[in-house]
């Protein structure tokens, strides 16, 4: 909540309890969805509502609630429809106002409740909730992939999306794929193992296996995305620093209606040929400032692994900074 919050009181008319229940959703989940997206607090006693937050966000929330209440008379609202209404209202600029403090996002998964550790992770989780395309960029151990997978699992559990796609570029980091044993699937499987590990922790091995069999969860190399359009899906592109410019553009243009994409990567660990520019670095240059796309940049201070990992990252950063000055 911002420090300069205002309160807007209004009544939704005509009084209709069925329409009100349709607007609020089960256990008020539609109202909570709007709160997260707009950075406001919504309280109501029956048809009397109070919206609290930054002035522009509160005004936008009131306008949206009135519109949705009107629509609730003729259509059944669900999280996907709420998401669509929020997207079509072009509200992203509101959440970028100076002084905006992201609301804490608590993700419920099998292992319990996942929350951001520190300001950057909290910002990252809120950005994922409020944007359709999100970039998480920074060193290993900052929770980029783990938090993205947790958000994806929650979206699947709450039926906000119909399937999860977890994608990685199968870039040869010193080893040649052709010399690895097995068929193509077995050759690329080691590159996708970190995504399996995160899913197992969130859902359990048995449930992941069942969802993989039903193609509700798909884990695939980036090359398999060409020519597809992904609607009502949660798509995570991991290790994006190893994409080419063409691959990154191809991936971003796969996103369809009702989908969320999270792109994670570490620009200090690029395995591409030295003459080739990373698609992730190019996307930062091209897409910064594009409405509807969020960028969260992590540093060594955000590392949540063993304390030595943060020191290692800082040591390499210092070495690389010194070399660039020479």
Q: What secondary structure, in 3-state letters, does the chain show?
A: CCCCCEEEEEECCCCCHHHHHHHHCHHHHHHHHHHHHHCCEEEEECCEEEEEECHHHHHHHHHHHHHHHHHCCCCCCCHHHHHHHHHHCCCCCHHHCCCCCCCCCCEEECCEEECCCCHHHHHHHHHHHHCCEEEEECCCCCCHHHHHHHHHHHHHHCCCCCEEEEEECCCCCCCCHHHCCCCHHHHHHHHHHHHHHHHHHHHCHHHHHHHHHCCCEEEEEHHHHCCCCECCEEEEECCHHHCCHHHHHHHHCCECCCCEEEEEECCCCCCCCCCCCCHHHHHHHHHCCCCCEEEEECCHHHCCCCHHHHHHHHHHHHHHHHHHHC
pLDDT of residue 294: 93
In the chain, residues under CATH classification 3.40.50.300 are 107-325
pLDDT of residue 260: 93
Read off the pLDDT band of 182 (50, 70, 90): low
In the chain, residues under CATH classification 3.30.1370.10 are 6-96
CATH 3.30.70.100 describes domain 107-325 = no
User: Is it the case that residue 315 has pLDDT exceeding 50?
Assistant: yes
pLDDT of residue 317: 79
- Name which residue leads in pLDDT, 181 or 234: 234
Whether the CA torsion 80, 85, 86, 87 is positive or negative: it is: positive
pLDDT of residue 324: 52
Share of the chain above pLDDT 90, in %: 36
Superfamily for domain range 6-96: K Homology domain, type 1 (3.30.1370.10)
Q: Lowest-confidence range among 95-109, 131-145, 190-204?
A: 95-109
pLDDT of residue 35: 86
Share of the chain above pLDDT 70, in %: 82
- Name which residue leads in pLDDT, 308 or 265: 265
Which of 65, 96, 45 has its CA nearest to residue 296? 96
């Amino acid at each position: 909540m911002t420090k300069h919050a205002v309160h807007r009181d209004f009544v939704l008319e005509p009084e209709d309890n069925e329409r009100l229940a349709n607007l609020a959703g089960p256990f008020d989940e539609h109202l909570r969805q709007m709160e997260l997206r707009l950075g406001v607090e919504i309280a109501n006693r029956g048809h009397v509502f109070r919206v609290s937050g930054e002035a522009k966000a509160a005004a936008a929330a009131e306008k949206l609630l009135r519109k949705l209440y009107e629509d609730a008379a003729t259509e059944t609202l669900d999280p996907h429809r709420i998401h669509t209404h929020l997207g079509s209202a072009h509200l992203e600029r509101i959440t970028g106002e100076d002084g905006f403090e992201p609301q804490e996002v608590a993700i419920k998964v099998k292992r319990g409740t996942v929350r951001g550790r520190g300001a950057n992770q909290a910002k990252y989780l809120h950005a994922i909730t409020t944007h359709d395309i999100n970039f998480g960029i920074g060193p290993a151990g900052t929770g980029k992939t783990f938090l993205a997978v947790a958000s994806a699992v929650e979206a699947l559990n709450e039926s906000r999306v119909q399937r999860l796609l977890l994608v990685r570029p199968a870039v040869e980091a010193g080893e040649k794929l052709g010399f690895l044993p097995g068929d193509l699937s077995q050759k690329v499987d080691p590159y996708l193992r970190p995504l399996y590990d995160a899913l197992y922790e969130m859902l359990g091995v048995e449930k992941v296996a069942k969802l993989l069999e039903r193609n509700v969860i798909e884990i695939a190399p980036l090359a398999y995305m060409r020519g597809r359009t992904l609607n009502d899906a949660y798509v995570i592109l991991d290790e994006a620093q190893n994409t080419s410019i063409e691959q990154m553009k191809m991936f971003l243009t796969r996103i369809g209606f009702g989908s969320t994409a999270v792109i994670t990567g570490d620009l200090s660990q690029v395995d591409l040929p030295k003459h080739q520019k990373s698609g992730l670095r190019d996307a930062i240059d091209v897409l910064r400032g594009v409405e509807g796309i969020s960028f969260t940049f992590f540093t060594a201070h955000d590392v949540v692994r063993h304390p030595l990992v943060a020191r290692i990252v800082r040591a390499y950063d210092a070495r690389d900074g010194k070399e660039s000055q020479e």
